[in-house]
Copies of this chain bind each other. A is one copy, B any other.
Amino acid sequence: MATATVNNGVNVQALLDAREALKSAPREATKFTWRATCKWQSGTHSKSNVHGFFGLGEEQKHKTETSFDADHPEIFASEDKGITPIEYVLVGLASCLTAGVAAVAQNRGVQLRSVESKLEGKMDIRGILGMDSDVRNGYDDIKVTFKIDSDAPKKDIEAIVAQSQKRSAVYDIITNPVNVSVEVV
């Protein structure tokens, strides 16, 4: 009987090998610094750029430098020249959980045909407008709904999604506090 080869496009062996290699590497090798720069354009419109980062003990670069416009929508008297900052948070969460689902499925030998998700973040704008100090500025609640096409039983798919959450950097950042320091030079 032929065994079908599972291929979700994730090189899990390389990741497992890297994990082994990093065990004996200098502690600095696992310390990454991710970066963005941002330039105000006008009003609430800004452009952020992402290109270089530091990792495995040296400077690294994405293949290309990417630029991202952010703005507020017209109903906030802005020009809507980009999505809002908080929508970028949803993009980060969606893509982190999705990459995790593909990687975990590969590691568990589960072939995926499609992975789609819908994210909804609820927010009361009385917070950012300073109308009520008991209302927070950010999301009250984010709901992520996955629709995954695979021959694996639903309980296996749910376990893959749960493991993706458990290892997700962005899920951690959103659900737990991160220290942010802001300075002006």
Contact = CB atoms under 8 A, between A and B. Distances in A.
A28 to B, nearest CB: 10
Interface residues of A, number: 124
A92 B170 CA distance: 12
Interface in A65-100: 66, 68, 70-78, 80, 82-99
Query: Which of A22, A120, A145, A184 has the most C-beta atoms of chain B within 10 angstroms of its own C-beta?
Result: A184
Contact of A37 (B36, B82, B99, B119): B119
A130 interface: yes
A179 B141 contact: yes
Contacts of A168: 128, 137
Nearest to A146: B184
